[in-house]
Each structure stands twice: as structure tokens, then as C-alpha cells.
Amino acid sequence: MNERGGAPLLSMRQISKRFGAVEALSGVDFEVRAHEVVALVGDNGAGKSTLARMVSGVLQPDAGIIEIEGQQVSISSPSVAHEMRIATVFQDLALADNLDVTANLFLGHELRENGMLQDGRMEQITRDVLAKLASRIPSVRTPLSALSAGQRQSVAIARTLIGDPRLVVLDEPTAALSAVQTAEVLTHIERLRDLGLGVILISHNMTDVRAVSDRIEVLRHGRNNGSFDASRTSFEEILAAITGATHVEPGLRSVG
């Protein structure tokens, strides 16, 4: 559980990033502990995805320090992120439609022995992972093209569990899903937390965010604008921080 003391799983300090004339992030602090779901919320263009892409190794900060369990690191590419046991589910899921569920889970990390693919073991692990997430996918041999949007989202989340991650980044996992599918994904997020992982959740839906997160970090125009304990904060306080009705001075940030 998120015990006090000890180095956080991920700590980002004074992160800045500029795209040409646009200052996407400026002096942002961000922290995730094990067994914690941290939501990253803010208006369009607030810098949520930019920050998440730095965690998953797609972008590099212009300035700032990233630490993983107290060690300063540079997440220079997605494969480096994978080695650091950071898994990401991107907004567009990045799944291969023509392959089945098992092949998608192991894409690029197939299990081999003496050069031979170990299909049986991969299928078994896939079944285990899907069961762990209480996922509703009847067969691991179904091609992705035959699955519903919600089932594809479960596959994308299940894929993050291959390779024993400690941090999972979810970018808008419930956008464009039906009610039942949203319920499944939120249940998955609870499971990931129960498994002791740190989760970064980016979402526009305040109901979903408040339902599953422990802490809510608000970004506004590329700056921190409040850190809220999800169990003690109302909709209004968070919305006020997102829209800028309340402004949190740097240095006066309440630490949840």
C-alpha cells in the first residue's frame, strides 16, 4: 500500500518540454507510488499526454529529473521503458487486428525455446493474465478483428501485464467505450492496483477518475495546478482547478 517513506516508484521533478514556440510543460512535478492510482487530468493541451509519453519513453524532457525507485534514469526509448518495467496503453491501443489475442499480448516479446515459439505456454499465460483481470474474452485464439471495443481495451491492458511491470500508463482508456465496457476497464484498473502496481490514468471523465484513483493531479497550461486526495475532494474542487477558477501557487501545493 502507499506507505509513507521510501522512494516513490516514479518521481518527476521540474519537467519542462517545448515544441517549437509552444511550451508544453513547464516545471512540472509528478509522483507515483506502488499500489497507487494517480489520475492526470486537465483541459485539452494541458500537457497530460506529453507527460505520459515521457514516462513511456516516447518523448524526452528538455529539462528536469526522472527517478525510478530513487535512481535517476533517462527513459530514452519505449524499449528502455519496457526494460524498466513500465507498460503503456496508448489511446489508439496499437494492436494488430490480424493476429489473435495471444499473439497480440506477446507481440515483439514472444517466448522461444531453441528458436521455437512456445505457443502452449504463451496461451496459458494469456489465459492466466485475462483471468487475473477478470476479463470477458472467451477465447485467446480469437483474432482481434472479431473483438468488441471493450474487449480490445482489455487485451491492451492485459498486454501491459506481460513482462511483470511495476508501472502502467493508461491514456484515455474509457473514451469511446459502452457502459459495460467502461465498467470492465475500471474493474481492471482496480485489479492492477490490487496487484501492487502503480497506475497513471489519464481521463476526461471525472466520475471514472474519482471512482478509481487515489490521487488526482491537475495540469493547466503545462503547469501543476493542484494535487488532490481523491477520497476527500469534490467534483467542484477538481473542476475549479482544471478550469483555472482556483489557482495553486507553486510551492504551496498540497501533497496528498
Partner 1 sequence: MSNKATAGSQSSLREANRTLVLHTVQRWGGLTQVELAAATGLSTATVSNIVREMYAAGLVDTAVTTRSGRRAQLVTLARRLGLAVGVHLGSRHLRIVLGDFGHSVIAEQSLPLPRDHRMDASLDRVALLVADMLERVGASVTDVVGVGIGVPAPVDAATGMISVGGVMRGWDDTHLGQTLAKRVGCPVAVDNEANLGALAESTLGASRNHRDSAFVLASHAIGAGLVIDGKPHRGYAGLAGEIGHVQVDPQGLICSCGNRGCLDTIVGADALLEAVRPIRGALSLRDVVLLAKEGDQGCSRLVADAGAQIGAVVANLCMVMNPEVVVVGGELAESGDVFLGPMRTAITRRMVVNRIAPLEVVPAALGTRAEVMGALLLALQAAEVPAMGDVDNEESAS
Residue numbers at the binding site for partner 1 (CB under 8 A): 1-4, 136, 138-139, 141-142, 145-146, 178-180, 182-184, 186-187, 190, 194, 206-207, 209-212, 214-215, 229-231, 234-235, 256
Report the residue number, 128 or 229, with the smaller CB distance to partner 1. Answer: 229
Q: Which amino acid is at 224?
A: N
Q: Cα–Cα distance between 17 and 52 in angstroms, integer?
A: 12
DSSP assignment of 205-251 equals: -HHHHHHH-SEEEEEETTEEEEEEETTT--HHHHHHHHHTSS-PPTT
Residue 205 contacts by C-beta under 8 Å, 6 or more apart in sequence?
Answer: 174
Smallest separation (angstroms) from partner 1 to the CB of 2: 5
Q: How many angstroms from the chain centroid is the CA of residue 197?
A: 10
CB of 172 to partner 1, least distance (A): 18
Least distance between partner 1 and beta carbon 231 (Å): 6
Closer by beta carbon to partner 1, 193 or else 220: 193
Closest distance of CB 94 from partner 1, Å: 21
What cell numbers appear for 225 in the block?
Answer: 495546478
Query: Quick one: 55 or 238, whose CB is closer to partner 1?
Result: 238
The minimum distance between CB 149 and partner 1, in angstroms, equals 12
| C-alpha distances in Å from residue 153, one per residue of 140, 157, 171, 187, 225 | 14, 6, 11, 12, 30
Which H or E run includes 32?
A: strand 22-32
> Dihedral of the CA atoms 199, 200, 204, 210 (nearest 10)?
50
Interaxial angle between packed helices 179-194 and 149-160, expressed in degrees from 0 to 180 and rounded to the nearest 10: 10
All three cell numbers of 50: 506529453
Residue corresponding to grid cell 482544471: 242
Q: Whose Cβ is closer to partner 1: residue 75's or residue 133's?
A: 133
Residue number, 63 or 134, with CB nearest to partner 1: 134
Taking the complex as a whole, how short is the minimal distance between the CB of residue 9 and partner 1, in angstroms?
A: 14
Which CB, 21 or 179, lies closer to partner 1?
A: 179
**Residue closer to partner 1, measured from CB, 139 or 243:** 139
Note every long-range contact of 112-120, with CB atoms under 8 Å and residues 24 or more positions apart, other chains counting. Answer: none
Nearest distance from C-beta of residue 77 to partner 1, angstroms: 33
